[in-house]
Chain A
Amino acid sequence: MNKYDVIVVGAGHAGVEAASAAARMGANTLLFVIKMESIARMSCNPTIGGPAKGHLAREIDALGGLIGMAADATGIQFRMLNRKKGPAVWAPRCQNDRGLYTRFMTAELENTPNLLIIESIIDDIIVAKNMVTGVRSHLGEEYLAPRVIITAGTFLRGRVFVGDVSYSAGRAGEPSADKLSLSLEKLGLHLARFKTGTPPRIDIRTADISCMELQPGDENPTGFSYYRDIELKNLVDCYLTWTNPTTHQIISGNLDKSSLYGGFISGTGPRYCPSIEDKIVKFSTKEHHHVFIEPEGLYTYEAYVNGVSNSLPPHIQEKMIASITGLENARIMRYGYAIEYDYVIPDSLTPTMETKNVKGLYLAGQINGTSGYEEAAAQGIAAGINAVLSLDKKAAVIFDRSQSYLGVLLDDLVTKGTNEPYRLFTSRSEYRLFLRQDNADERLMPLGYKLGLVSDVRWQKYLQVQKVIETEMDFLAKHNTTLTEGLTESTRLINILKRPQMEFHDLTKYGYNIPENVTPDIANRILLKVKYAGYFKRQLGDIERFNRMEQAELSVDIDYMQIKSIAWEAREKLNRIKPLSIGQAARIPGVNITDINALIIFLKKLKKEI
C-alpha cells in the first residue's frame, strides 16, 4: 500500500519541481508537506527573477518545470532589468501575489497524475546496505520507495530569532524538522549552520507612498514561460524610499538587542543579502540604504519592506520603520526575523544531486546551502529528473555549465561548495554571452521534450519559432537593401544589422517589411545573433575548449591519495569531490594547474601500463 517509486520530502520550491517532474516522467510519486496550505510558499520576498535568477527560471521553464508558469500566472508586476544595459544580460523579474502563487502550485500538483500529497513530518530516512528504501513519519508510519528526494529547506533544526527570543520553527508559523537532521547525520552527511532573515511586513494603507519614488512595471510586460501564452498584467506598483542617519542611529544604538549582533546566532548569512544591522555596521559611511515597498498580493494590504531584514526586538523594529521617509505612521503586520538552520555541505553530492554514500537518496534546494526560489527549483527539477532516469536505468542528465545556469549552479555546489548561502549571479558563468534569457528554449527545450516534460503543443510552437528565425536570417543574408538611406551602394540587409546602434526595426528604412510572424521576441533574437556573431563565435571557441576538458572523464574509483606527485591538500580534495572529468577537477578550489598536470601525467602513465 505504502510503496512508491519516488518520495519527495518537502513541498517548497525544490520539492514541487522534483515531485512534478518525477510524476510527469511516469514515476508513482509521493510528496510530503509539513502544512498543506504552504505548498511552494514564498517565505521571503514575493518576487521571482532578476539577473541570473530570471535566467534560471526561464531555463527551468524550457526544461518543463513549473516556476516560470506559476510566476507568469500569478505575477502582478513585470520588469525586464538591465534593459538599457545589454541584451545578453537582460533579466526578467516579477512581483507575485504570494497567496495566488501557493494556490496555483497546489492546484497544479493536485491535477498531476501519479502524484499524491500527504501532510506529515518525516523523521527518518530508511536505508539498507547504503541504499535508500523509504522514510518514516513522526507518527511512525513507513513509506517505501527506492528513490527519496529530501527538500527540507530551512526546516532542519530551524530556529527563529527575534531579539533575544528564539524558538524552534521551520519558518515563522511552521514547525521545524529536527529529527530529520539526525537521520541525515547518521547517514554520514556533514551538516553545518547557515542563517538568513526577512524584513517586517507593513499595512500599505499606513504608508505615505506620495513621498516615495514610484516603481511601475514595464509597458510591455515580459515573463518567464515559453509558449504558454499566459497573459501578463501589471496590477500593482512598487515604491522606493531610503533609510537615513536617524534609522542608522536607532539600529546601532540597539545592536546588542539584535539576535545577530547580540551573539545569539552563529550561522553564516549571505553577504549579498545582508541584514540592515550588517549594512549599518559594515558600511558605516553610507548615509542611506534603499528600501523597496512591495505589495504582497491583490487581496491583502500587506507589503514587504525589502531592504530592512533584521532580527531586532519588535519595539525596536517599530521605531526603525517609523524613522524611514514615508513610513512614519506605518503599522507592522509581521515582524522581521532571522532564521538559523542546518544545511548539508554539498560536496557530498554528485551533479545529479544524489548523495555519494547513499544510493537513491537525493538532496535538493536550500538544504544544500543555497538561497532563492529559483536556485531551489533548479535543483529540484534536476533531482526529480535524475531520480526517475536512474530508476529506469537510463543515463543521468548532467547539466553542463557551458549550456545553462542550471549547470553552473549544480557544478558550483558539488565542486566548489559554498561558505555562505549560495546565490546565482551572471558573473558566476564563464559563458554569459551564450546563456541568455532569450535563448533558454534553444538550450534546454529539446532535452525537456525528450524527457517528456515539455508538451507536444509547446514543442510545436518552439519548432515554429525556430523555423521563422532560420527563414528570416536566411532572407536577410540573401537580400539587398532596396532603399539606400545613408548608403553609397546597396548591401545585404544582414549587414545593416551588424552596424553599431542599428535596431531590427531600422531595417524598414532599407526596404525590409517585417513579416507578421516576426514577433518582437524573434526580432530581438535575430538582432542578437547577427550583431554579436563575432562575440558568440569567440565564446563558442571557449566552450569547445571547455568541452574537451569536460569530456576527459575520470573514474570515481581513482584513489587520489596514491598520486604522490599531487599536492597533499589537492589529493584530499580530489578524493572528497571525486570529480567526473578533468574539467571538473580543475575547478575544485585548492587544486591548481600543476596538480592537474600531475594528474594528467599519472593517467597517461597508467594507460601505458595497462
Chain B
Amino acid sequence: MNLSQDTIAAQSTAPGTGAIHLIRLSGNAAIEIADKLFRGKKPLAKAPSSYVNFGRIYADEHLIDEVLATVFRAPDSYTGEDIVEISCHGNQYIADLILENILQTARLAKPGEFTQRAFINNKLDLTQAEAVGDLLAASTRHSHKIALDQLEGRLEKKIRVLLDKITELRLRLELEIDFPEDYVETISTSEMTVKIAELKEELQLLVQSGRDGLILREGYKVCLVGKPNVGKSSIFNALLNSARAIVTPIPGTTRDYLAEAIALEGFLLIFYDTAGLRETDDQLEKLGMERSLGIINQSDLIIYVTDSEPDEAETSKLEKLIEEKKIIKVLNKTDILGTALITKYLQKGYISCSTVANDGLSALKSRILQEINIKPEEFELPPLTNARQIAAARKALTELEQVEIALTEGVSIEFIAFDLLQVSKALEEITGLVTTDDILDKIFSGYCIGK
C-alpha cells in the first residue's frame, strides 16, 4: 500500500480582517487541488518552484478573488511534501470561501499538522518542531526571539556541549571497566567529584533558564490579592488601561477571577484579578475563593493590595498561604488616606498608589519588571521553553545528584557509569535526538588499546 499522506489545507493567518490571508495546502495532491480553482498564465503544475504566480480563484465559474500562488515542491518545502500557498485579500469571507472550495478535495489540517509532517519527514528535529509552535504563539518580542533561536538549533548545541562533557567522563570509566589490563590512567574520585560539581552548576543554570523560558513564552503570571473592596479591580484595570473588570464598592463583586494579558517592556504579563479573600458563607463566593487560591498557586508574583490600617493577622495569614511566592505589597487609595498612615506603610516597604489620582502606577510597573529579573543579555542563552523540556532537564539534574551521592558513598564505577548514562538520556530527551553510543569509537581513536 501507499502511505503517501493525504493532502491537508488550512488558513495560515489569524482569522479576521487583515492585509492578506494565506491559505496553505500540503500533500501529494496539493498542486492538483489548487489547479482546480486557480487560473493564471499557466497551471501551477507547470509553474516553477518557489516563484510567485499571479492568478484568479474561480469556484463554479464565479470569480472569488485575485490571488498570488506559490508552489514549493517536495522535498524542498517546509513539510517536505508538495506545498501550495495562496495569498488572497485580507477578508475573512473571501478566505473562508476559498478554503471551503479547497476542502471539497483536501482535508482540513489539524492544529500543528504542517509542523508534524515536517517532523515526520525529517525536516525538523523535536526542539525545532516545538519552536515553530512557539513561534506561532509568540506574542511579544522576547518570546519571538527565543522561538527563533531554538529554531536555529541553539538549544541543541547547548545540550550537545553538556552531553559531550558527560560522555568524556563516561569514556574514562568505560576504559577502566573494559580495558583493565591496558594500564590506562584511571580517573580519581576527587577529579570526578569536581567535574560533577561543574556539570551540576551548568545544569542548574539550564533549569533556571527553563523558568525564564517559560515566563518569556507563556507570560509572567501576576495575581492581585487582598480583602474585598480594597481596589484590586481598579488597579487591575489601571494596569490594563481598560475597564474590563466591574468596579463597584460592594464587597465581593469579583466572584470568580479575571485574567488579562499585556505586553510590558517586551514581556508578556498575565494579570489575574481574584475574588477578595475573606471568611464567607456565600457558596458562590466560596467557590470563587477556591479558584483564587488555585490562581495564587500558579502565579509567579503576588500583588497584595490594602487600603487601611495594617492588619498583621491578615498579612501573616497571607504570607503563610503563599510561602515561597514573590510578593509586592501595595497601599491603594492614597488620595483619601492620611499622610501618617501612608508614611507608616512606606516604611514597611509598601508601594503607595491611587488609581483615582493616577499616581504610583509606574512605580508598581517597574517593581514588577524588577521581579521578573530576566536580563536582556540572558536572552542570548537558549532557554528551555516548555514543560516537557524543563521536566527532562530537572530529571537530568536529579540523576546528576544521584551521581554525587554515589561518589560520596564510594559506590564502584560501573554504577556511577550507569548514573551518568541516565543523565545523558534525560538530556537527550530535551532535544528528542537519541544519539548512538559512540563511546567505543572514541576510546579506539583516543587511546592505544589492546595487547
Residues of A within 8 A of B (CB): 45, 50-52, 81-82, 85-89, 91, 270-274, 279, 282-283, 286, 289-290, 292, 306-307, 425-428, 432-433, 500-501, 532, 535, 538-539, 562-565, 567, 589, 592-595, 597-598, 601-602, 605-606, 609
Interface residues of B in 434-451 (CB under 8 A from A): 434, 436-437, 439-440, 444-445, 448-451
From B178-186, B229-237, B247-255, B302-310, give the one contacting chain A: B178-186
Q: Could you give 22 example pairs across A and B, Cβ below 8 Å?
A: A51-B178, A82-B180, A85-B180, A85-B414, A86-B415, A89-B414, A270-B450, A271-B444, A271-B449, A272-B450, A273-B451, A279-B448, A290-B181, A307-B451, A426-B414, A427-B437, A428-B440, A433-B415, A562-B1, A593-B432, A594-B120, A601-B120
Q: Which residue of the partner chain A has the closest CB to B171?
A: A427
Given A500-B410, A535-B418, A565-B121: A91 and B448 within 8 A (CB)?
Answer: no
Q: Which residue of the partner chain B has the closest CB to A289?
A: B448
How far, in angstroms, from A593 to B125 measured CA to CA in the complex? 10
Q: Is the CB of A425 within 8 A of B440?
A: yes
- Chain B residues, Cβ within 8 Å of A86: 177, 412-415
Q: Which residue of the partner chain A has the closest CB to B421?
A: A430
Interface string of B175-197 (1 = CB under 8 A from A): 01111111100000000000000
Closest 7 CB pairs of A and B: A86-B412, A271-B444, A500-B409, A283-B448, A86-B414, A273-B450, A306-B451
Q: Is the CB of B450 within 8 A of A597?
A: no
Given A89-B177, A562-B3, A565-B121: A272 and B444 within 8 A (CB)?
Answer: yes
The smallest C-beta distance from A552 to any residue of chain B, in angstroms, reads 17
- Verify if B343 is at the interface (C-beta below 8 Å from A): no
Q: Is the CB of B415 within 8 A of A606?
A: no
| Interface size in chain B (residues, C-beta < 8 A) | 41
Q: Is the CB of A433 within 8 A of B414?
A: yes
Interface string of B401-420 (1 = CB under 8 A from A): 00000000111111101100
- Verify if B91 is at the interface (C-beta below 8 Å from A): no
Q: Is the CB of A565 within 8 A of B177?
A: no
Q: Which residue of the partner chain B has the closest CB to A294?
A: B451
The smallest C-beta distance from B175 to any residue of chain A, in angstroms, reads 9
Q: Most A CB atoms within 10 A — which of B415, B422, B444? A: B415
How far, in angstroms, from A597 to B3 measured CA to CA in the complex? 13
The smallest C-beta distance from B280 to any residue of chain A, in angstroms, reads 48
- Verify if B4 is at the interface (C-beta below 8 Å from A): yes
Q: Is the CB of A602 within 8 A of B440?
A: no
Q: Is the CB of B415 within 8 A of A565?
A: no
How far, in angstroms, from A45 to B182 measured CA to CA in the complex? 16
The smallest C-beta distance from A555 to any residue of chain B, in angstroms, reads 14
The answer, among A85, A532, A597, for a CB contact under 8 Å with B176, is A85
Given A292-B451, A425-B174, A427-B178; 12 other pairs, CB 8 A cutoff: A51-B178, A51-B180, A86-B413, A282-B448, A283-B448, A425-B178, A425-B440, A426-B414, A433-B414, A433-B418, A535-B418, A606-B1
The smallest C-beta distance from A268 to any residue of chain B, in angstroms, reads 12
The smallest C-beta distance from B124 to any residue of chain A, in angstroms, reads 9
The answer, among A81, A87, A432, A562, for a CB contact under 8 Å with B412, is A87
Q: Is the CB of B411 within 8 A of A500?
A: yes
How far, in angstroms, from A103 to B31 measured CA to CA in the complex? 76
Q: Is the CB of A562 within 8 A of B2?
A: yes
Q: Is the CB of B433 within 8 A of A593?
A: yes
The smallest C-beta distance from B162 to any residue of chain A, in angstroms, reads 20
Q: Is the CB of B436 within 8 A of A81?
A: no
The answer, among B120, B182, B432, for a CB contact under 8 Å with A565, is B120
Q: Is the CB of B180 within 8 A of A274?
A: no
Q: Most A CB atoms within 10 A — which of B182, B414, B418? A: B414
- Chain B residues, Cβ within 8 Å of A282: 448
- Chain A residues, Cβ within 8 Å of B366: none
How far, in angstroms, from A88 to B178 measured CA to CA in the complex? 12
Given A85-B176, A272-B444, A432-B418: A605 and B434 within 8 A (CB)?
Answer: no
Q: Is the CB of A52 within 8 A of B178?
A: yes
- Verify if B5 is at the interface (C-beta below 8 Å from A): yes
- Chain A residues, Cβ within 8 Å of B114: none
- Chain A residues, Cβ within 8 Å of B433: 593
Given A81-B181, A564-B2: A88 and B450 within 8 A (CB)?
Answer: no
- Verify if B122 is at the interface (C-beta below 8 Å from A): yes
- Verify if B119 is at the interface (C-beta below 8 Å from A): yes
Interface string of B374-413 (1 = CB under 8 A from A): 0000000000000000000000000000000000011111
- Chain B residues, Cβ within 8 Å of A81: 180-181
How far, in angstroms, from A307 to B449 measured CA to CA in the complex? 10
The answer, among A273, A500, A501, A565, for a CB contact under 8 Å with B5, is A565
Q: Is the CB of A91 within 8 A of B180?
A: yes
- Chain B residues, Cβ within 8 Å of A562: 1-3
The answer, among B4, B119, B176, B414, for a CB contact under 8 Å with A564, is B4
